[in-house]
Chains A and B, each alone.
Chain A
Amino acid sequence: MIRLDHVEKTYRTRRGDLVHALDDLTLHVRENEFVSVVGTSGCGKSTLLKLVAGLVPATRGTIHVRDQAVLEPFADVGFVFQQPVLLPWRSVLDNVLFSVEMLGLPPAQYRKPAADLLELTGLGGFETKYPRELSGGMQQRVAICRALLPDPSLLLMDEPFGALDAMTREEMGLELLRIWEERRKTILFVTHSIPESILLADRVVVMTPRPGRIARVLDIDLPRPRTMDLEFDRRFKTYSDDVRSLIFAGRVAVRREAVPTAEPSLKPEERR
């Protein structure tokens, strides 16, 4: 489904400094696979999503989605960000319809599917509310419905539950899995929560920063459907220790090499 081969991305900041966001990244994602990408901030996780969506070009290497080279945005993608970024002047239902409208599809035909999606995510009855009248978790559910409505085969999620409180976060993760079981999609899920990355995914891509590199890709051999009880599973513990040590090893190595620790003035993925 997604093939990234030897992808490299360098940015130039406004000051003129070069930022090496990604270095020689090779990753193949299968159809309907749930892959999470975990790492500290500044390891190029968000850049990775933008590259796959065709929003930014790669400096080197090739990206293919369904054997098509990605050179520009290609519409068969749903995006969910850390912030819900809903349109405050639109009702919940009209916010969900935003995606099909921007795609140039007739919104009238999508009203029923949109209402069904809201029902599926527990937002039935909130169609006419404004986003401001909803809690953070409910707003993020609306954003997920918006991404799902055109039924894209690829879902790119950039720390989608990062702004939520811990309890809502776990609940939302499992809810996402429930939706995914029902409507299979390929999901690339960026997070900086180690338990979240393991709990949700088929495979976990562990990345280390400066430049962003893949440290290792772990196969998560845990039964589905996943539940919160899995976190007490021995294997879960082993996986999370592995991920932690990979991220931590990267940090120690950086320190030992005495690389200047100054952050780049403007990290591309945090540029707003």
Chain B
Amino acid sequence: MTARVARRIVSDYIVPTGALVGVLVVWEVATRAFHIPNFIMPAPSAIVGEGWEWRYRFLGHAWVTLYETLGGFALSLLVGVPLAILIVYSPTLKSALYPLIVLAQSVPKIAVAPVLLLILGHGEIPKVIVAFLVAFFPIVVDTATGLNATPSELLDLSRSYRASAFKTFVKVRLPMALPFFFAGAKVAITLSVIGAVVGEFVGSDQGLGYVILSATSYWKTELAFSSMILLSVMAILLFGAVELVERLACPWLATEREE
């Protein structure tokens, strides 16, 4: 029993941490040994040092990117979920909307971003829109899939009890769709971060995307790296937050995970 726990701790924590530390050590030693200049490949210590020096300025930029990301994600939920419901319940709307949604998804968002900035100007709104555009597709598709995932027997059962379509929706189809929705939301939140950064790349004077862009134009690679790390940490935390909400909303999935 204790041996098994020990083995699990080793495989779940010690091995991955060890691998990460190993990579960092090799990286640090290599940059020093081969005298690689910071602007080509900064050492981990240089990245951390630069990040520490920027800690207060980073707060403001991270806040802007977080705000754009969450705005885009919220918008994708507000638009994506009702859209999925419409598609599932109305075949006419499905044939009308589905091609449009697929079209919207197939347009490269990086190509849309400059146009959006042209129309909406600088500021946070166009970044929110870009984040929304990249995030809403998985929400729509996964929620629609989830709403269709109810076994036909359950729908027959509801009908045989003369339950209204609305009651069946609330009591059966919606909860049945929840795990699918969360699968989409987890993809969407990480895409929102990418969307916000892409928006900032195209034109902005704040945000972590802006910091990366301006750092590279001044050859300050270590600053770009520390921004990237901050962005990754933010994306991981946001992903974790969605997963936490999922665990709270779908407690029955916990027993499945433990099996």
Interface residues of A, Cβ cutoff 8 Å to B: 50, 53-55, 72-75, 77, 79, 81, 83, 85, 87-90, 98-99, 101-104, 130, 132-133, 271-272
Closest residue of chain B to A88, judged by CB? Answer: B252
A102→B163 contact, CB < 8 A: yes
Interface size for B (C-beta < 8 A) is 25
Chain B positions within 8 Å of A271 at CB level: 152
Report Cα–Cα, A77/B160, bound state, in Å.
Answer: 7
A85→B153 contact, CB < 8 A: yes
The verdict on B154 contacting chain A, using a C-beta distance below 8 Å, is yes
A99→B161 contact, CB < 8 A: yes
Interface residues of B, Cβ cutoff 8 Å to A: 151-154, 156-163, 167-168, 171-172, 175-176, 178, 250-252, 255-256, 259
The residue that A85 contacts in the complex, of B157, B163, B175, B178, with Cβ under 8 A, is B157
The residue that B255 contacts in the complex, of A54, A104, A132, with Cβ under 8 A, is A132
A89→B157 contact, CB < 8 A: no
The residue that B151 contacts in the complex, of A90, A104, A272, with Cβ under 8 A, is A272
Chain B positions within 8 Å of A74 at CB level: 162
- Given A79-B156, A85-B153, check contact A103 B161 (CB 8 Å): yes
Closest residue of chain A to B168, judged by CB? Answer: A102
The residue that B162 contacts in the complex, of A75, A79, A132, with Cβ under 8 A, is A75
Chain B positions within 8 Å of A130 at CB level: 252, 255
15 contacts between A and B (CB under 8 A): A55-B156, A55-B159, A73-B161, A73-B162, A81-B157, A83-B153, A85-B151, A87-B172, A87-B175, A89-B251, A101-B171, A102-B167, A130-B252, A132-B259, A271-B152
Interface SS of B by simple majority = helix
Least CB distance, B250 to chain A, in whole angstroms: 7
- Given A89-B250, A130-B255, A133-B255, check contact A73 B151 (CB 8 Å): no
A132→B153 contact, CB < 8 A: no
Report Cα–Cα, A130/B251, bound state, in Å.
Answer: 10
Closest residue of chain A to B151, judged by CB? Answer: A85
Report Cα–Cα, A101/B156, bound state, in Å.
Answer: 15
B160→A53 contact, CB < 8 A: yes
Interface SS of A by simple majority = loop
A75→B151 contact, CB < 8 A: no
14 extra interchain contacts, Cβ-Cβ under 8 A, other than A53-B156, A73-B162, A102-B161? A50-B156, A72-B162, A74-B162, A79-B156, A83-B151, A89-B178, A89-B251, A89-B252, A99-B157, A102-B157, A102-B158, A102-B167, A104-B163, A271-B152
Chain A positions within 8 Å of B153 at CB level: 79, 81, 83, 85
Least CB distance, A64 to chain B, in whole angstroms: 17
Closest residue of chain A to B163, judged by CB? Answer: A102
Least CB distance, A92 to chain B, in whole angstroms: 12
Chain B positions within 8 Å of A54 at CB level: 160
**Closest A-B pairs by Cβ, 8 of them:** A102-B161, A102-B163, A81-B153, A85-B153, A89-B252, A73-B160, A103-B161, A130-B252
Chain B positions within 8 Å of A77 at CB level: 160
Least CB distance, A131 to chain B, in whole angstroms: 8
A75→B161 contact, CB < 8 A: yes
B252→A132 contact, CB < 8 A: yes
B255→A89 contact, CB < 8 A: no
- Looking at B160, B163, B171, B176, which has the most chain A CB atoms within 10 Å of its CB? B160
B256→A132 contact, CB < 8 A: yes
Report Cα–Cα, A90/B171, bound state, in Å.
Answer: 10
Chain A positions within 8 Å of B158 at CB level: 102
Closest residue of chain B to A56, judged by CB? Answer: B156
Report Cα–Cα, A90/B255, bound state, in Å.
Answer: 13
Closest residue of chain A to B249, judged by CB? Answer: A89
A79→B157 contact, CB < 8 A: yes
B161→A272 contact, CB < 8 A: no
Least CB distance, B237 to chain A, in whole angstroms: 27
Report Cα–Cα, A11/B156, bound state, in Å.
Answer: 17
- Looking at B158, B161, B162, B252, which has the most chain A CB atoms within 10 Å of its CB? B161
